Amino acid sequence: MRTTEPATPALAEADRLMTVCNSCRYCEGLCAVFPAMEMRRSFTDGDLRYFANLCHGCGACYDDCQFAPPHEFDVNVPKVLAQLRAESYAHYAWPRATSRLFERNGLTVALAASLSVAVFVAGFAAWTDPSVLFGVHTGPGAFYRLMPHNTMVAIFGGVFLYAILALAMGLRAFWREGKGADVAAHAVAAHDAARLRYLDGGGAGCSDSDGPAPDRRRPFHHLTFYGFLLCLAATSVATLYHYLLGREAPYPWYDLPVLLGTAGGIGLLVGPIGLLREKAKRAAATRVPQLRGMEAAFIAMLFLTSLTGLALLALRETAAMGLLLAAHLGVVFGLFLTLPYGKFVHGLYRYAALARYAQERKAGRSADG
Amino acid sequence: MTESDEEEERLYDVLVVGGGNAALCAAIAACRGGASVLVLEAAPKFYRGGNTRHTRNMRCAHDTATDTLTGPYTEDEFWTDLHQVTGGQTDEDLARHMIAESKEMLGWIAEQGVRFQPSLGGTLSLGRTNSFFLGGGRAMLNALYRTGEKLGVEVRYESELVGIDIRDGMFLAARVKRGDRTTKIRAKTFVAAAGGFEANIEWLKQYWGDTADNFLIRGTPYNRGTVLKMLLDAGAHPVGDPTQCHAVAIDARAPKFDGGIITRLDCVVFGIVVNKHAQRFYDEGEDFWPKRYAVWGRLVAAQPDQIAYILFDKNASTLFMPSLFPAIEAPTIGELAAKLGLDAAALEKTVRDFNASVRPGTFDPTMLDDCRTHALEPPKSHWARALETPPYFAYPVRPGITFTYLGTKVDRNARILMQDGKPSSNMFAAGEIMAGNVLGKGYAAGIGMTIGSVFGRIAGREAAKRANN
């Protein structure tokens, strides 16, 4: 039995809904949320946040529910879990004071990004001679004529390490509410996360304005996610080139960092546009309007990262390179800075929730005999 | 017929009245048979589908295991089960025909876009015999509606039948009320798939008197028996005991209508049940719960004020499926009585007497164990354990009505039989409105959906044939 009252209205409503759902269980074949719920008779706040992060918001359980509004039981699991999911990001945020950054997240991220770009442009203008800023630079080390390599490493290494630390602390807080997971559970979770296994309500398609239809979020999410990974890979390879092989950027178009970055960049252009479009089509009943800012902000940051990166690639041998480099670095800095305080964290908590679920399933099976 | 009603120009091949599984199977089958089809659903769109909304599986015969069924369920075994639950109150010819046709239904239903899943969690005991809809009955309905509309079935919601023009057993036209407007709709054939009358308290009172005021209706508030009554008044041959309904004991705090599955309570076998005078009145451990749950609705209906209380202690508190409302809890039996508004001394005595009569045994909920009472009236034959570990819990229960048995008699082609024994030339029935033909008494999980799908499909197919002639 629950020993304390739910801490927020969203938790209280999620607690009420899970009590309804646990008495019904008709949706147990749709996704991981309901089987996870069935392993309990009452729910702690941590359990509810775990369910919220297992939910992919497909909406199938809303369409299938005999107790959805206008029924007096008023069951809307995807909407309430979306609310709770956003609340959980703030709850786990590190340091504690940064929780408030999730309150008006769209605005926060937009401000951070704009400010970051502005500082980079202003910094380039202040520290670089106009003839250098608007000059044409080619060949290895071209970028570093505008900003010394060590300065770049210090700035980006710093913000990157901070982001990693903050993300890790949030993840740790989430993880401590569960009972851990072994390697096999992590393998299952990695597989489920990589394929977005639970995105489509057990195969019936997610809910959109015209009822269940083929889930078109999946290909665009794949483009976005794998595009992001390719871009990370491009940066990693370039770092190895720099330190191990002593080869300085920019690299020719056929070289690995450029190929990886271009492929990833295209994914990060097409994926975000598609995701925004598909999200707009989804049934209003299951969505939380206040969260659109957070979703759009992260998607826009990925899109801008790619857009400025590809523009820099296309125009790097022209006089526009200096300003484009400033813009790209500004966007990337803003992206890193806001990673722990925006929609990016959904991936970490979702993965952790899937790992916890895989572990619980195994424990449940062995307990059943 | 009122002459002033506006008459719609279109003559439909098939008019289906109702919006549940049977109605949609009929509409889809008729449409696939080349007929133009209009479906009239009295409920608004969200509540469409009658009690199909509250179902989650169907029982079909099959010769081998499948992706979602753990083993074969032969026609003979199905027949044996049906014969047993109905105590023989079934039309064997019709029932065997339905069972034979049920074999094709799994494939046919899946072709209409309905998805199945293996039985999980608390329903494993049905994993071999029953096919579970992924997402439950409303998911099934959504798929059927989508398919029907894609095929060209016209569906009108909030459209209630207020009159039928029937001459010599032949359907001519229907009067349909939608909002303030009543129109006359003509069709070559008519399929009645509008459910029973369990939500019509006034009708229930004819047989149950004022006790029916204390009944809760588990499903749709729209099954008021309007169409059934019109057909019977027009000379359709009745079938099934009009006084009988399927009733279980559900949480007394449930809403009057449409509380559905989540108000059921599975804990009777693990405790004792008392009435408002704090007296026990039936053997709580007579048999496994799935075999006995349906007797408790009637038992509670026979108690004063149609209320009873299931009592158990901490030891039993996690042995059954959770349900919507929390159990009422108290540290002593006396305090629990106060919370329930029962006489504390009487309840303490009932529990004391029960506890004193419990014989030692080995408690095992998975079998008919040897934990029983001795020299107690009524006895508790199995799973009897003293209520002695606080806290103590109680659920108040009332009769929850699932469905009624009265219907119209049909033949193998789902054609309505008239009182002279002859089949109507163009009227068909499917689903709960004719379930009494094969299910005269009792119930087996998923069988209502089988009746609906099988006879719905037959009715649609035959109606289309008739209309095309």
Whole-angstrom distance, CA of residue A273 vs CA of residue A223: 10
Cβ of residue A123 closer than 8 Å to a chain B Cβ: no
In this structure, is residue A245 part of a structural domain? yes
Any bridge partners for residue B190, and if so which?
B15, B427
Coil, strand or helix at B302: coil
Which of A90, A111, A144 is the last residue before a domain boundary?
Answer: A90
> What was the pLDDT predicted at B7?
87
pLDDT at B196 > cutoff 80: yes
* pLDDT tens digits along A138-196: 989 999 999 999 999 999 999 999 999 999 999 999 999 998 999 999 999 999 999 99
CB contact under 8 A, B135 and A41: no
Asked whether residue A64 falls in the same domain as residue A101, the answer is: no
> Which of chain A's residues have a Cβ under 8 Å away from the Cβ of B138?
63-66
Q: Does A72 touch chain B (CB under 8 A)?
A: yes
Q: Does B262 touch chain A (CB under 8 A)?
A: yes
d(CA A159, CA A152): 11
Considering only CA atoms, which of B57, B407, B457 is closest in space to residue B237?
A: B407
- pLDDT (tens digit, 9 = 90+) per residue, A31-58? 999 999 999 999 999 999 999 999 999 8
Does residue A119 sit in the same domain as residue A245? yes
Residues of A in contact with B136 (CB under 8 A): 24, 26-27, 64, 66
Instruction: Say whether A23 and B261 touch across the interface (CB within 8 A).
Output: yes
Query: What range defines the domain where residue A43 resides?
Result: 9-90
CB B86 within 8 A of CB B442: yes
Distance between B295 CA and the closest CA of chain A, angstroms: 21
Using DSSP, state whether B299 is helix, strand or coil.
helix
Residues A202 and A121 in one domain: yes
Q: Which residue has the tokens 């209502």?
A: B448
Dist CA B55 CA B338 (whole Å): 37
Q: Where do runs of H (alpha helix) occur along A199-242? A: 217-240
CB proximity list for B425: less than 8 A, separation 6 or greater: B169, B170, B466
Q: Is A29 on the interface with B (CB under 8 A)?
A: yes
Instruction: Tell me whether A203 touches chain B (CB under 8 Å).
Output: yes
Contact B46 A71 (CB under 8 A): yes
Of A23, A29, A212, the CB nearest to B120: A29
A3 domain-assigned: no
The backbone torsions φ and ψ at residue B130, rounded to the nearest 5 degrees and listed phi first, read: -115, 140
Sign of CA dihedral A185, A190, A195, A201: positive
Residues A50 and A109 in one domain: no
Specify whether A149 is located in the same domain as A228: yes
State the Cα–Cα distance between residues A72 and B147, nearest whole angstrom: 29
Q: How many angstroms separate the CA atoms of B367 and B348, rounded?
A: 29
Q: Is B356 on the interface with A (CB under 8 A)?
A: no
For residue B117, the chain A residues in CB contact (below 8 A) are 29, 202
A273: left (phi over 0), alpha (psi -120 to 50) or beta: alpha
| Predicted pLDDT at A369 | 37
Residue A77 has a pLDDT of 98
CB of A113 closer than 8 Å to CB of A301: yes
- For residue B75, the surrounding DSSP H or E stretch is helix B75-86
Whether B135 sits inside 8 A of A204 (CB atoms) is yes
DSSP bridge partners of B392: B313, B330
| Whole-number Å distance between alpha carbons of B266 and B276 | 20
B261 touches chain A (CB under 8 A): yes
> What kind and span of H or E run contains B13?
strand B6-17
Question: Do the beta carbons of residue B432 and residue B424 sit within 8 Å?
Answer: no
Q: Could you tell me if A141 and A16 lie in one domain?
A: no
Which residue in chain B has the smallest CA separation from A2?
Answer: B326
Judge whether A366 lies within some domain. Answer: no
Residues A51, A172, single domain; the answer is no
Q: Is A251 in contact with A28 (CB distance < 8 Å)?
A: no
Query: Which of A90, A122, A142 corresponds to the end of one domain?
Result: A90
Which chain B residues contact residue A26 at CB under 8 A? 56, 135-137, 139, 261
Instruction: Tell me the nearest-neighbour CA distance from A45 into chain B, angstroms.
Output: 18
- Answer yes or no: do B121 and A68 touch at CB < 8 A: no
Taking 70 as the threshold, does the pLDDT of residue A210 lie above it? no
Judgement on whether residues A50 and A122 belong to the same structural domain of the protein: no
Confidence tier at A239 by pLDDT (50, 70, 90): very high
Question: d(Cα B210, Cα B76) in Å, to the nearest integer?
Answer: 42
Probe site for chain A from B144, B253, B324 (most A CB atoms < 10 A): B324
**Which chain B residues contact residue A72 at CB under 8 A?**
255, 258
State the pLDDT at residue B417: 98
**Model pLDDT for residues A65-121, shown as the tens digit of each residue:** 999 999 999 999 999 999 999 999 999 999 999 999 999 999 999 999 999 999 999
Question: Mean pLDDT lowest for which of A256-260, B117-121, B442-446?
Answer: B117-121
Of B46, B53, B321, the CB nearest to A70: B46
pLDDT value, residue B435: 97
CA-CA distance, B331 to A218, in Å (whole number)? 53
Residue A180: inside a domain = yes
| Structural domains for chain B | 6-242+405-468 (3.50.50.60), 247-400 (3.90.700.10)
> Which chain A residue lies closest to B54 (C-alpha atoms)?
A66
Same domain, A118 and A153: yes
**Contact state of A38 with B139 under an 8 Å Cβ cutoff:** no
What span, in angstroms and rounded, lies between the C-alpha atoms of B463 and B469? Answer: 10
Asked if A211 reaches chain B (Cβ–Cβ under 8 Å), the answer is yes
* Domain assignment present for A219: yes
Residue B3 pLDDT class (50, 70, 90 cuts)? low
pLDDT at position A112? 96
Across chain A, what does the average pLDDT equal? 93
Cβ atoms of B431 and B407 closer than 8 Å: no
What local confidence, expressed as pLDDT, does residue A205 receive? 62
Q: What is the pLDDT of residues B373-416, one digit of tens each?
A: 999 999 999 999 999 999 999 999 999 999 999 999 999 999 99
Across the interface, whether the CB atoms of A63 and B121 are under 8 A apart is answered: no
- Summarised one tens digit per residue, pLDDT across range B10-66 is 999 999 999 999 999 999 999 999 999 999 999 999 999 999 999 999 999 999 999
- Given an 8 Å threshold on Cβ–Cβ distance, is B135 in contact with A67? no
Residue A367 lies in a domain: no
β-bridge partners, B217: B257, B401
Out of A23, A38, A72, the one facing B262 most closely (by C-beta) is: A23
Cis check: omega of the bond before A95, within 30 degrees of 0: yes
Which of B135, B137, B146 faces A60 most closely, judged by CB atoms? Answer: B135
What element of type H or E holds B399? Answer: strand B392-404
**pLDDT tens per residue across span B122-157:** 667 899 999 999 999 999 999 999 999 999 999 999
Residue B255 in contact with partner chain A when CB distance is under 8 A: yes
- Summarised one tens digit per residue, pLDDT across range A300-324 is 999 999 999 999 999 999 999 999 9
C-alpha B2/C-alpha A134 separation (Å) is: 88
Is-contact A313 A266, C-beta < 8 A? no
What's the rounded mean pLDDT across residues B108-127? 86
Q: Do A26 and B135 touch (CB under 8 A)?
A: yes
Helical H runs in chain A? 9-24, 33-38, 45-54, 60-64, 77-92, 105-127, 130-133, 149-175, 183-195, 217-240, 256-281, 292-315, 321-338, 345-368
Report the distance separating Cα B299 and Cα B289, nearest Å: 15
Query: Where does the pLDDT of residue A204 fall: very low under 50, low under 70, confident under 90, or very high at 90 and above?
Result: low
Q: Which residues lie below 8 Å from residue B198, measured CB to CB, with a gap of 6+?
A: B204, B217, B219, B223, B225, B245, B401, B402, B403, B404
Neighbours of A194 (CB within 10 A): 12
A319 within domain boundaries: yes
Residue at a domain's end among A56, A74, A90: A90
Indicate yes or no: CB of B46 within 8 angstroms of CB of A68: yes
CA dist B455 and B442 (Å) reads 19
- Listed in order, strand segments (DSSP E) in B315-388 are 328-330
Q: Which two tokens stand for residue B211?
A: 């006790």
- What is the number of structural domains in chain A? 2
Give the ranges where B87-209 is alpha helix by DSSP (H).
92-111, 137-151, 201-208
CB of A143 closer than 8 Å to CB of A324: no
**Contact (CB, 8 A) for B400 and B217:** yes
Q: Is the pTM of this model over 0.90?
A: yes
Q: Which DSSP state fits A98?
A: G
Q: Is A67 on the interface with B (CB under 8 A)?
A: yes
Pair A184, A159 in one domain = yes
User: Three-state DSSP class for A55?
Assistant: coil
Q: Is A26 within 8 Å of B137 when comparing Cβ atoms?
A: yes
In a shared domain, residues A247 and A356: yes
Using DSSP's 3-state secondary structure scheme, residue A61 falls into helix
Nearest residue in chain B measured CA to CA from A39: B121
| Structure-block tokens of residue A169 | 């602390």
Q: d(Cα B270, Cα B284) in Å, to the nearest integer?
A: 8
> Does a structural domain hold residue A171?
yes
Residues A70 and A111 in one domain: no
